[in-house]
C-alpha cells in the first residue's frame, strides 16, 4: 500500500498527479487559533516557482491554493485543513514518447514494477509537482514553530562540482538575495556558468543544500526509533531526487578524532550548553539547544534534453528522444521544500514533546 501521509500528530496527506486536474493535501493535527496569512503562503509558493530562470523548467503556474476546510479568515479551526491547487499548465502529451520505454534512472521504471501500471504522464505521483502541497503545509508548520521562536533557513551549498569554499565565512541571509540561493557571490557565479554550459549541452546537475533550524529548545526528540535526526533524514529522503543526508559534521566525523569532534559543555548566559556544535544540534536523537544543521544531497535530474539509450517494453534497445519541461538543476527551487519538510518535523516533534514530562 502506498504511503501518502507524513507525520504523527501534525500530519500531511497529499494527493494528485503532475498532469492531472489538481494536486493538494490535508493537514491534520494543527492546533486551533493559528493565523497563517494568505500572502505568507503565496510568498513560500513563489519561492518554489521557476521564476523565468534559464536553469528552471518553463512550466509555470499560479499555484493559488483553494482551501476547502479548516480555516476562517486565515485562522485555523483545529479541524483538518483541506486544500487543492489546480494544474493550470499541464501538457500530458509531452510525455507520450516515454510510453514506449523507461527513462534511465527515472522512477517510472520502479513504479510500474511495483504497481503493474504506468506512472502516468509527467511522472504522476513521483513528479516534483507533488512538493507544492508540502510547501503549503510547511507554511502552517512554520507559523506554528515560530510561536516558540524557532526559525528554518537554508542555502545552496553546491551545484555540481562548484561549491562554497568556506562555509564559516558566509552569511546565510545572503542566500535570499541570490537567484540560486547561494550566499557566496563568487561561488554563485561559478555555479551559474556551470548551469549555462549544461543547459547548452542538454545535461543536468545535482547539488547540496544546507539547512539551519535555530532556537530549538533542549530535549526535543523521541528516542529510540524516532530520533530527531532520524525523522529529519526520513523527511529529506522523501523529497524527489534526494540521495543523501548528513547532520552536523556528517561523513567528515568518520575521519575526525574524538578530541576534534566532541562538543565540550560550558556555561553561557546562565545556561549549560555545548560550546561547539560538531554534532549538528542533536545528541542521542534529542536536541541539545544548539542550531540544528544538516546537509541534503540531490542527484542530477534524470530526464536530459539529449537522446538516451534505453529499452522498450519488449526489451529492445531504443534511443529515447527528449520531451517535456525539466530543470537543469532542482537545488535552487528545492530549498523551500527542504525548509517545509524540516518545519513539519519540528512542528510534529513539538506537539509530541508535550507528553514527555509533567
Tell which residue, 355, 350, 220, 213, has the closest CA to residue 295: 213
CATH number of the domain where residue 53 is located? 3.60.150.10
pLDDT of residue 106 exceeding 70 = yes
HSE-up of residue 39 (Cα within 13 Å, Cβ side)? 0
Structurally, the chain folds into a number of domains equal to 1
Alpha helices, DSSP H, located in the chain: 38-48, 108-115, 131-146, 185-201, 228-237, 258-261, 331-353
Asked if residue 59 belongs to a domain, the reply is yes
* Residue pLDDT, tens place only, 275-320: 999 999 999 999 999 999 999 999 999 888 888 898 888 888 998 8
How confident is the model over 140-165, as a mean pLDDT? 98
Asked if residue 243 belongs to a domain, the reply is yes
Q: Which residues pair with 27 in a beta bridge?
A: 12, 81
Asked if residue 317 belongs to a domain, the reply is yes
Asked if residue 239 belongs to a domain, the reply is yes
pLDDT of residue 1 exceeding 50 = no
What pLDDT score was predicted for residue 355? 66
Residues spanned by the domain of 143: 5-353
Asked if residue 198 belongs to a domain, the reply is yes
Asked if residue 358 belongs to a domain, the reply is no
Amino acid at each position: 500500500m502506498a504511503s501518502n501521509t507524513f507525520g504523527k500528530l501534525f500530519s500531511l496527506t497529499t494527493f494528485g498527479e503532475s498532469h492531472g486536474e489538481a494536486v493538494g493535501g490535508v493537514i491534520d493535527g494543527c492546533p486551533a487559533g493559528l493565523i497563517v496569512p494568505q500572502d505568507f503562503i503565496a510568498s513560500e509558493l513563489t519561492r518554489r516557482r521557476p521564476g523565468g530562470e534559464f536553469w528552471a523548467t518553463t512550466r509555470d503556474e499560479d499555484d493559488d491554493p483553494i482551501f476547502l476546510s479548516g480555516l476562517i479568515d486565515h485562522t485555523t479551526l483545529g479541524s483538518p485543513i483541506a486544500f487543492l491547487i489546480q494544474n493550470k499548465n499541464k501538457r500530458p502529451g509531452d510525455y507520450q514518447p516515454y510510453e514506449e520505454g523507461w527513462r534511465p534512472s527515472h522512477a517510472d521504471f520502479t513504479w510500474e514494477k511495483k504497481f503493474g501500471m504506468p506512472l502516468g504522464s509527467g511522472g504522476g505521483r513521483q513528479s516534483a509537482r507533488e512538493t507544492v502541497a508540502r510547501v503549503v503545509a510547511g507554511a502552517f508548520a512554520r507559523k506554528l514553530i515560530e510561536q516558540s521562536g524557532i526559525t528554518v533557513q537554508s542555502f545552496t551549498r553546491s551545484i555540481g562540482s562548484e561549491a562554497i569554499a568556506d562555509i564559516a565565512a558566509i552569511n546565510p541571509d545572503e542566500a535570499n538575495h541570490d537567484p540560486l540561493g547561494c550566499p557566496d557571490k563568487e561561488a554563485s557565479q561559478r555555479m551559474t556558468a556551470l548551469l549555462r554550459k549544461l543547459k547548452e549541452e542538454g545535461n543536468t546537475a545535482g547539488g547540496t543544500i544546507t539547512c539551519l533550524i535555530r532556537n530549538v529548545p533542549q530535549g526535543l526528540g523521541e528516542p529510540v526509533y524516532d530520533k530527531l535526526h532520524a525523522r529529519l533524514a526520513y523527511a529529506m529522503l522523501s523529497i524527489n531526487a534526494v540521495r543523501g543526508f548528513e547532520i552536523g559534521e556528517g561523513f567528515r566525523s568518520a575521519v575526525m578524532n574524538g578530541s576534534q569532534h566532541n562538543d565540550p559543555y560550558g556555561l553561557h548566559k546562565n545556561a549549560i550548553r555545548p560550546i561547539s556544535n560538531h554534532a549538528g544540534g542533536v545528541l542521542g536523537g534529542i536536541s541539545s539547544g544548539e542550531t540544528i544543521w544538516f546537509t541534503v544531497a540531490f542527484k542530477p535530474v534524470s530526464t536530459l534534453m539529449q537522446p538516451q539509450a534505453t529499452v522498450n517494453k519488449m526489451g529492445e534497445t531504443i534511443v529515447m528522444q527528449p520531451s517535456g519541461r525539466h530543470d537543469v538543476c532542482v537545488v535552487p527551487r528545492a530549498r523551500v521544500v527542504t525548509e517545509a519538510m524540516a518545519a513539519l518535523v519540528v512542528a510534529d516533534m513539538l506537539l509530541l514533546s508535550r507528553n514527555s514530562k509533567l
